[in-house]
Amino acid sequence: MSTAVLTRRASTRKTTRTRRTATRPTAVEWSVWTTTARLVVTDPAVLPAARAFVEERLAAVDAAASRFRPDSEVVGASRASEAGVPVRVSALLADLVAVALDAAERTGGAVDPTLGGLLAQLGYDDDLDAVRARPTRAPATRPVGEAPVPVRPVRATASADPAALPRPSAAWRHVVVLPDSTPGGGALLWLPAGVLLDLGATAKARTADLCAAAVVERFGGGALVSLGGDVATAGREPDGGWQVDVQDGDGEPRSRLALGGVRGVATSSTLHRRWTTAHGPAHHVLDPATGLPADPVWRTASVVAPSCAEANALSTAALVLGALAPAWLQRQGATARLVGDDGDVVLVGPWPSEETSAQASWQTSVQTSALVAAEGEPR
């Protein structure tokens, strides 16, 4: 999916005493986590230092949360779970896990961070480029620290309560994070035996939130951080707000948003994070009720929320809930846009009408996927 970030034309406004010239934001982008990172700042002078600042934080998240790195903290925690013992983790990973558990609670388990083993069994056990390049795409063997998970297929009905849908194990309810009493001192993390965390649905979004806020705290002004479809803003917005185009590739319906203040936008998609297995095509958004890729009722789900992490939890849950999503999102008070498998667009809450007109003299495109662990997650 491609999200275009725009700002309105730099303008001058005359008064009887002064002339005010708007600052023109400046952007830079680079590849990370098999997706594109984009940083936009309102003060061009700080851009090089701000980029280095963000890259340091992305590297720290990768070391903490990647299920593809044998030296990462989440893989170490999975190994420790086999012995039934907790492991001390960094304050960063503790925060990412806490956000993931909050998302699971908020969505009634539709967004489940304990499905890393199931994704690996489906073949998604490495960077997506490496997965797609394999000559044989049979389901992967059980990764280190991962126990088989029983799966009982369940089909939701239009009248079902999402929170009441049965889950294979709801292992996320047994994940425990005990923060250290010392500020910045990390935490103890307990995982159920054999669980491998997959923080893709929330970690990238949370990282966008943290990076945008940290850039503003360090350098002032305003900042927008986009990580593969997860967009977070902080600080002072440009005149007219941050102009964000939401469009999941050429030929797909387009919508434009104007964001102000601290906000988040997330788009989850079943279109792009796909690969082929011995049993057919697969995508990265799993339905915890079946252990299999969610039925593609929606091509994409986009949500605007006070934080990118919250937006991502709701957009991911929408893909999992399928036909139940519009009513569920409405009950959450969400502002959302769903694009159906047939191309029809469903709007929830005060999302602007399609093709909202806006003129801009400055525009850049951001390649986005949708999720985190599956749409360009910490590797």
The pLDDT tens digits of the residues spanning 7-44 come to 333 333 333 343 444 567 899 999 998 889 999 999 99
Decide: 335 and 349 in contact? Cβ < 8 Å.
yes
Dihedral of alpha carbons 312, 313, 314, 315, sign = positive
CATH of the domain at 324: 3.10.520.10
Examine residue 18 and state whether it is found in any structural domain, yes or no.
no
Task: Note whether residue 156 is domain-resident.
Answer: no
| The predicted structure's pLDDT at residue 348 | 94
pLDDT on residue 157: 34
Residue ranges, the chain, pLDDT below 50: 1-21, 136-163, 165-166, 355-377, 379
Q: Is residue 14 part of a domain?
A: no
List, for residues 169-186, the tens digit of each pLDDT value.
Answer: 689 999 999 988 776 678
The CA–CA distances, whole Å, from 243 to 7, 138, 240 equal: 5, 43, 8
Asked whether residue 378 is assigned to any structural domain, the reply reads no
pLDDT of residue 204: 95
pLDDT for res 356 = 43
* pLDDT reported for residue 125: 65
Tokens of 146: 């991962």
Q: What pLDDT sits at residue 201? A: 78
pLDDT at res. 246: 84
Tokens of 299: 């091509």
Residue 372 belongs to some domain of the structure: no
Supply the pLDDT for residue 20: 40
Write out the residue range of the structural domain in which residue 31 sits: 2-7+23-151+161-367
Q: In 3D, which of 354, 270, 259 has the Cα closest to residue 315?
A: 270
> For 73-129, what is each residue's pLDDT tens digit?
999 999 999 888 899 999 999 999 999 999 999 999 999 999 888 777 777 766 666
pTM (2 d.p.): 0.79
Asked, for residue 98, whether it belongs to a domain, the answer is yes
Cα–Cα distance, 191 to 174 (Å, whole number): 7
Closest CA to 4 of 227, 202, 246: 246
Q: pLDDT value at position 118?
A: 79
Neighbours of 20 (CB within 10 A): 10
How many domains does the chain contain in total? 1
210 inside domain: yes
